[in-house]
Amino acid sequence: MTFDARRGFALNLVVFSALGILSGTASAAPAIALSASSGPGGMTVSAVSTGFDPDHVGYNTGFYATNDNVHFQLLGVCPGPIGDTTRANCTIPIRMPSPMGLWSIVAFNSNREFAATSFSVLTPSLDISPTCGSAGASIVVTGERWALDYDAGIYLDGALVRAGNFPRPDGGFSQTIAGPTSPDGPHAVHVFNSDGQSLAISFTTPLCADIGAVVDVQGTALVTHADGTSGPLADGDHVRQDDTITVGSPGTVKILLNDNTELTLSAGASLRLNEYQFDSGTNTGSAFARALAGSFEYLSGLMNHTQNPDNQQIDLVYGAIGIRGTNFIAQLGQSGAEVDLISGVLDVSPYDTIDTTAFTGPIKIFLNSQGTTTSPLTQEDYDAIKAALFGSASSDLTPPQVTVAFAAAPTGQSGFFNAAQAPVSGSVSASDDSNVTAIACNDSLSGLSAGAPTGLNTGTAGETLSLSGNGSHVVICGGTDGAGNSGAAIGSLNSATVNIDATAPAIVYSGNQGAYTVDQTVAITCVASDALSGLASSTCQNVGGAAYSFNLGTNTFSAGAFDRAGNAGTGSTQFMVSVTYGSLANLVNAFETNSGVAAILVSTLQSAQAAASQGNAKTANNQLNAFINQVKAQSGKSMTSDQAAILIRLATALRS
């Protein structure tokens, strides 16, 4: 006969044959008991052996662990001396193995007596709070069920920030670290140890993103943000990642997330929206929440109907549920949770086991940390539970049909509206046989304003919409009908993406010194850019060359650019060019190839400068005229005619 540890705790007798004890009788008398049936790796438990024959024991009763019925690890031995009953039957502490999974714990002796039970080494968990916030914010890192005696090092973006993190005897730990300072975006908080356990969670800076909106509040409700600030919730309010929603009594709150997932919280309920990411283009993402108290109803939206349910989970205190396109009600109690699954599939993982079971609705699931039990569930049962928790059930179970409409961006603008076309106008309409009582819309960039609703409490209602602000706006709308259904009916065109670029392209000139003498070099760089729709065209050109090649006085250069949205931008730069006796002398030395002639020319300039400095303009001009004649004499000889013309032009400018 062969039994595994899940079905009676007896071991494969072939194994005991190899150990030389097969010829004995596995009587019912010998037994083993542990003070705990599950826990973290390395946990110390009390092991009790009873019923072993103390009179025929050649060796003490030993306690062993195996997870494959082949390899055995000695955990401890009854310590009693020969003739003492504690040699066969005892209570001793033993340390459980570290590797995760189900282990058979066996007691046996040389008299061929044996007994077995099981111990589950549990999978660790990791949580951070908050999961988003400003740069440098403190992050509390919390772990449960981590292997003992192993340093659970904490890393931020691959760098070790906390060592010496040895778990408590229950496998838990809590440490506070400083959050990332730059750059903005997701940052990995990673914990792992040398036993091979490794988990990571993302912390996002600089802000907690809007992930949905409140569509209906009855009674009172409070939101607490990741930064600790809090306030009352009202219809139309945004909810953010890492918000904790708490509902007063009496009261209910309905929330529409960005993928059209609907969460309805009952009176006394509290739920934390730990993490949420959604790609409307692929309907993929991840969502993690933690139910803290009370009851809630969950109606799946667009996210992850076919993906791994590990990407969409809710912690129910006693275990985790993975979601795949599902409608259910969860109720937390003092010793467990009830999950009423009316449709779809849930993966349920009790925390004190290593089991995960997939359940398909309709079914009623009772969950505690040790396992699950089930019973039948009908639609009538579900409606009664929903009415008791959230109000009367209705034969109308479908939310309004919702349509969001924005015109397409003009052709040739790469899908963007420009400054002249912003704000961008649109509309939302909702229709329902039970009448439309409310409309709520959410913009991913918080740039949405809505006009006064029309047609409320009739079969069709609507609002005008207006979007402003640069970027890619994702607008998602939902409605509420007279039966209390909120969201958008399947098939609704209730989302739209609108791209706005209302900023002209930038033209930046750099490297301009502002003022130059004729012997210097001008090197100014022109760069055109556009961070949103991108650059379409530009007349931007660098300005460079010898300063004498530019006009004396003020020189102005300008350029224009268009982005792909059609916005026009301009930029300009300005600098002065002047001639001095010294700068003109430097040009003489640069142009004149005969050093003797150069010396004569420079001497003439110096005489002119001396006269000018003494206020003798006539003498200075005479010397400059002499300089000009000397230059003309060298034109085409020891200097080029072009160079001679430059020197003559600049000397002429020095004459008063």
Poorest-pLDDT segment among 33-42, 110-119, 305-314, 519-528? 305-314
The strand pairing partners of 508, in sequence order, are 527
**pLDDT, tens digit (0-9, with 9 covering 90-100), for 163-213:** 999 999 999 999 999 989 877 888 889 999 988 899 998 888 877 889 999
Instruction: Select the more confidently predicted residue: 61 or 572.
Output: 572
pLDDT at 18: 41
Give residue 504's pLDDT: 96
Instruction: Note the pLDDT of residue 307.
Output: 59
CA–CA dist 500, 419 (Å, integer):
8
Q: What residues form DSSP beta bridges with 199?
A: 191
pLDDT band with cut points at 50, 70 and 90 for residue 279: confident
CB-based contacts of 186-189 (< 8 A; 24+ apart in sequence):
187/156, 187/157, 188/155, 188/156, 188/157, 188/158, 189/128, 189/139, 189/141, 189/154, 189/155, 189/156
Is 15 within 8 Å of 101 (Cβ atoms)?
Answer: no
- The CA distance from 475 to 500, in Å, is 13
pLDDT of 404 higher than 70:
yes
Mean pLDDT across the stretch 360-387? 93
pLDDT value, residue 57 = 54
pLDDT of residue 1 exceeding 60: no
pLDDT tens profile 43-84: 999 999 998 887 765 678 899 999 887 678 999 998 877 667
Q: pLDDT-based confidence at 15, cuts 50/70/90?
A: very low
Is a pLDDT exceeding 80 seen at residue 304?
A: no
Residue range 448-494, pLDDT digits in tens: 999 999 999 999 999 999 999 999 999 999 999 988 899 999 999 99
Least confident of 73-87, 208-222, 429-443, 602-616: 73-87
Render the burial of 95-129: b for 16+ CB within 10 Å, e for the rest: ebbbebebbbbbbbbbbbbbbbbbbbbbbbbbbbb
Query: Between these two residues, 647 and 482, which has the higher pLDDT value?
Result: 647
Quote the pLDDT of residue 3.
Answer: 25
Residue 7 has pLDDT above 50, yes or no: no
**pLDDT the model gives residue 392:** 55
Q: Which of 50-54, 241-245, 380-384, 420-424 has the lowest mean pLDDT?
A: 50-54
pLDDT for the residue numbered 58: 61
Please say if the pLDDT value at position 5 is more than 70.
Answer: no
User: Peptide bond before 362: cis, by omega within 30 degrees of 0?
Assistant: yes
Asked whether the predicted pLDDT for residue 331 surpasses 90, the reply is: yes
The answer to whether residue 638 scores a pLDDT higher than 90 is yes
Q: What is the mean pLDDT of residues 98-107?
A: 90
User: Residue 623 corresponds to which tokens in the numbers above?
Assistant: 């010397």
pLDDT bin (cut points 50, 70, 90) of residue 23 is: very low
pLDDT of residue 471: 96
**Mean pLDDT of the chain, nearest integer:** 89
Task: For residues 238-262, give the mean pLDDT.
Answer: 91
List the domains of the chain with CATH numbers.
5-121 (2.60.40.1930), 125-205 (2.60.40.1930), 210-390 (2.60.120.1440), 401-500 (2.60.40), 506-578 (2.60.40), 581-654 (no CATH)
Confidence check: pLDDT of 16 > 60 = no
> What percent of the chain shows pLDDT beyond 90?
70
Whole-number pLDDT of residue 69: 74
pLDDT at 87 over 80: yes
Reported as a pLDDT band with limits 50, 70 and 90, residue 41 is very high
Give percent of the chain with pLDDT exceeding 70. 93
List 421's β-bridge partners, or say none.
none
Residues paired with residue 332 on neighbouring β-strands, in sequence order:
337
Of 50-54, 94-98, 503-507, the least confident: 50-54
Q: How many whole angstroms separate alpha carbon 183 and alpha carbon 161?
A: 17
pLDDT of residue 306: 61
pLDDT band of 134, cuts 50, 70, 90: confident
Averaged over 627-639, what is the pLDDT? Answer: 95
State mean pLDDT over 612-640.
95
| Position 396 confidence tier, pLDDT thresholds 50, 70, 90 | confident
Does pLDDT of 222 surpass 80?
A: yes
Mean pLDDT of 287-292: 92
Confidence of residue 27 (pLDDT cuts 50, 70, 90): very low
Determine the length of the chain: 656
**Nearest-angstrom CA–CA distance, 433 and 401:** 10
Average pLDDT for residues 536-555, to the nearest whole number?
A: 97
Cα 347 to chain centroid distance, Å, stands at: 24
Is residue 90 within 8 Å of residue 80, measured between CB atoms?
Answer: yes
DSSP H or E segment with residue 545: strand 543-546
Q: Give, in order, the Cα–Cα distances in Å from 67 to each of 34, 73, 120, 496.
A: 17, 10, 10, 54
